Amino acid sequence: MNLTHKEVKSYLDRFWAEVGEVNEVQVVFIPSFTSIPAFADALEESPNSSELGAQDMHWEQGGAFTGEISAGMLQALRVKHVVIGHSERRQWFGESDAIVAKKTAAALQSGLHPILCIGETLAERDGNRVEEVLERQLRKGLGDCSARDLGSVVIAYEPVWAIGTGKTATAAQAQEAHAFIRSVLVSTFDLATAESVRIQYGGSVKPENAQALMAQKDVDGALVGAACLNAESFARIVQCAEKEQPPSIA
């Protein structure tokens, strides 16, 4: 819940001036709903290719759901990606695994690319329940997704204990969690499908740790939170991602 539509142009001007030419990284901006139209217009005129995402959506296409927004409404604003099941939605708005699954299915059916967020709390990590929590959230969040559907899904691992706290999972901890997530995808689908899925890390990503995180074998990009509020900071994270292969979403 940051950045008004009036601040978009200044933000993007600073971002593009800092980041320079972007060739190997897919960049997706995911602003507040009211800033989406301004971003959409500005990105059409930007020097680099980038795409637009939304922070949430409802699972129905329309109806008596006051305050909600549908996939069709987002697509009319040139949105291609949508974050589903972010830890703050789960924590503050009571989103269950069942709701996350409905939103994921609705996004896929509408042609949007879901960024499915999963992650454990500090209590769950301290209780040695990391794998249990990640597997449950992943399997239930994907619901009845087919291997073909999975090609349109990005998984974002966000350890809740590292979001907005200044704490960050070490590169080794991130790799361990991402490798486990990929192993669940292997057992659910197959090796080739699992290896093609992008798994992002999200949890206090900043320029100082971005390159070490994204250098890990199973870390395919970053879901950036607070650090992207500063355009120059976000640009430096994108530059870190560009040094790694394969191409990543930041």
The DSSP string of 62-93 is SSS-TT---HHHHHHTT--EEEES-HHHHHHH
Residue 81 among the catalytic residues: no
**What distance in Å separates the CA atoms of residue 36 and residue 196, rounded to the nearest whole number?**
29
b/e map of 66-82 (b: 16 or more CB within 10 Å)? Answer: eeebbbebbeeeebebb
Which of 86, 95, 120, 244 is catalytic? The answer is 86
Calpha distance 106→101 (Å, rounded): 9
Helical residues (DSSP H) of the chain, grouped into ranges: 8-19, 36-44, 71-76, 87-93, 97-110, 122-126, 130-142, 147-150, 171-188, 191-196, 207-214, 231-242
Q: Which of 158, 178, 242, 244 is catalytic?
A: 158
Cβ 116 vs Cβ 153: under 8 Å: yes
CA nearest to 216, candidates 248, 168, 183, 172:
172
How far is it, in rounded angstroms, from Cα 121 to Cα 240?
27
86 is catalytic: yes
Active site residues: 86, 158
